[in-house]
A and B are shown apart, each in its own frame.
Chain A
Amino acid sequence: MRRFRGGDGEAFPALVQRHRARVFAFVLRLTQDRARAEDVLQETWLGVVRGAAAWRPTARFTTWVYTIARNACVDAARRDQHRSAEPLAGDPPDGGSSWSDPERGAGAAELRSVLEAGVAALPLEQREVFLLREVAGVPFREIARVTGAPEPTVKSRMRYALEALRAHLRRAGIEGDAPGRTAS
């Protein structure tokens, strides 16, 4: 990002290459709509270009770009409120077909489907925290900056999200990688 701000023409493609997939995964699951996610992704990177002059090296680039992406999602949801009663919840994304662990086979397909539904059912504030931490890999302290919520609040939302998903998986008869019940 420093190079891009300094006028290095090759820095921006490198930035996009490095972060685009994760940002898209976050945006797609937050918006739950592929077409909208594509738009938001474009808006996000345009926001990076427009805001490059204002970016300061004291801020982590990932924090900044996810802040832009998250705000673009919220804006897109507001724009669509007239068309949908539940703007950020819709059909689960029809994403790619690859699994991180191919050995899971059909069971993995079921797990994926159940988990997608569980994530889609989370309240927005829990969903965004879960996706930022789990999909985008943003630390809790940075998520607090992205969402503008205090870090303890972020962790509370994460706990609620994890517990809700754990319960959702158990209801579907999926125990996940570890046995046992979710603590209440």
Chain B
Amino acid sequence: MTDTAHPRDALLDLVYGELPADQARAVQRHVDGCAACAETVAGYRAVRGAARALPREAQGTAGLESLLHHGALAAGRARRRRVLRWAWPLAAATVAVWVGVVAVRPPAPAPGSLGELAKAKAAAEPAGEAKKSLPGDLLGRAESPKSAPAAPPSPAPAAPAQRQVASQLRAKDVPRDEGSVRMDDARAAVAEREAARPLSSEAPAPAAKRVAAPPAALGGAAGASAAGAPAKADKLAAPPSAEERRAEVSAPAPPRKMAAAASEQDAVSNLAATGKLSAPVPDAGLGQRGVDEARRAWLIARLQETKGAAALPLLAELCALEVRLGHREDAVRVCGQVARDFPGTPEAAAAGQKLEHLPPP
């Protein structure tokens, strides 16, 4: 028997219904006229008929519950992987762009701009501080003016290594995108903060040679490394005085128009709203402090949208970060909130311990 004379495979396909309709008709015509194939097909069908008598075994349920639990966990992991697949590159890109912005500061603070105001304020209040406190609504209490020990204005740290990193990062800076308004706002806010940071009496250096301070976090982390700076950041948004307005008129235009109303918190909110700052920030050459500051900014942004028990892990981490970064007052505030709002939790206990071991001011 050959396939040419008796299509054996086709007979099998015919019995199991795996032939297209036209081929099935052709094979059936052959079977109708071929005794041998008809007998083969009858035999196959006899076994198929008998096989239908095989009982459907009742499978046990042993292990079913744990299996389903295992599946649910796997589904959760898949969900997280899917989110992280998008979040990490976005976060990395955000940090890279942001660091580039910090590195490429304008050559001179625009007279009349917030930076200029801050400098003027610095002259008037040498013992002030530029550090902006955490948003009041985050911690459920109003912002209070900070008092810091009087200290002479000091330039931001300018280690050669940082200079090199800043230079490298500037080279990687993303070109300005006219469409990314929110990002520009963030850049403006960061640049404003950088301008407000006291630069001592040193003359403004060309941007290419400007030293980039370790990237402070957005949203309240401004000038965290410049504690003791003479300007109060919470006054940055104050309207200029008449004298300042006059100075603005007579001053040369800034190289780039800054959004005067954009506070750092706005920048954080914008980034959070666009999802550009939606995940832990990887180290993009910032150094540990820079990473911590970026992470802190992200936590603050998240906390503005997070209520109830979900805020606990964020607050606990923020507490630890504030301690590590040396933000004493913020540490007291955040860790105190953890202890106060979530009593009896391990996080509250850890926060209490951190408060006890805070270095003296």
Residues of A within 8 A of B (CB): 4-9, 11-13, 16, 20-21, 24-25, 28-29, 34, 38, 41-42, 45-46, 49-50, 52-53, 93, 95-101, 104, 108, 111-112, 115-116, 133-135, 139-140, 152, 155, 158-159, 162-163, 165-166, 169, 174-183
Contacts and interface: CB of A to CB of B under 8 A. Distances in A.
A133 B13 CA distance: 11
A176 B54 contact: no
Contact of A52 (B12, B64, B76, B78): B78
Contact of A12 (B71, B81, B82): B71
Interface extent on B, as a size class?
Answer: 35 or more
Given A5-B78, A7-B78, A159-B8, A108 B42 contact: no
Interface of B: 1, 8-9, 12-13, 16, 18, 36-37, 39-40, 42-60, 62-64, 67-68, 70-72, 74-82
A97 B54 CA distance: 10
Contact of A181 (B18, B39, B51, B78): B39
Contacts of A12: 68, 71-72, 74-75
Contact of B12 (A38, A115, A158, A166): A158
Contact of A116 (B54, B58, B63): B54
A175 B67 contact: no
A156 B62 CA distance: 37
Contact of B57 (A28, A134, A179): A28
Given A95-B58, A96-B58, A112-B55, A139 B18 contact: yes
A35 to B, nearest CB: 9
A107 to B, nearest CB: 9
B57 to A, nearest CB: 4
In this complex, which of B55, B64, B70 has the most chain A Cβ atoms within 10 angstroms of its Cβ?
Answer: B55
A108 B50 CA distance: 9
Closest 3 CB pairs of A and B: A177-B49, A7-B79, A176-B46
Given A24-B57, A53-B78, A176-B49, 13 more contacts: A4-B74, A6-B82, A12-B71, A41-B59, A96-B56, A99-B55, A115-B53, A115-B54, A134-B48, A135-B54, A140-B13, A162-B47, A165-B51
Contacts of B49: 176-178
Nearest to A104: B53
A116 B44 CA distance: 17
B67 A7 contact: no
Contacts of B47: 162, 165-166, 169, 176
Nearest to B62: A38
29 contacts: A7-B80, A7-B81, A9-B72, A16-B68, A38-B63, A42-B62, A45-B71, A46-B70, A49-B67, A95-B57, A96-B58, A99-B53, A100-B56, A115-B51, A140-B12, A155-B8, A165-B47, A166-B43, A169-B46, A176-B45, A176-B47, A177-B48, A178-B42, A178-B45, A181-B39, A182-B40, A183-B36, A183-B37, A183-B39
Contacts of B42: 178-180
Nearest to B52: A100
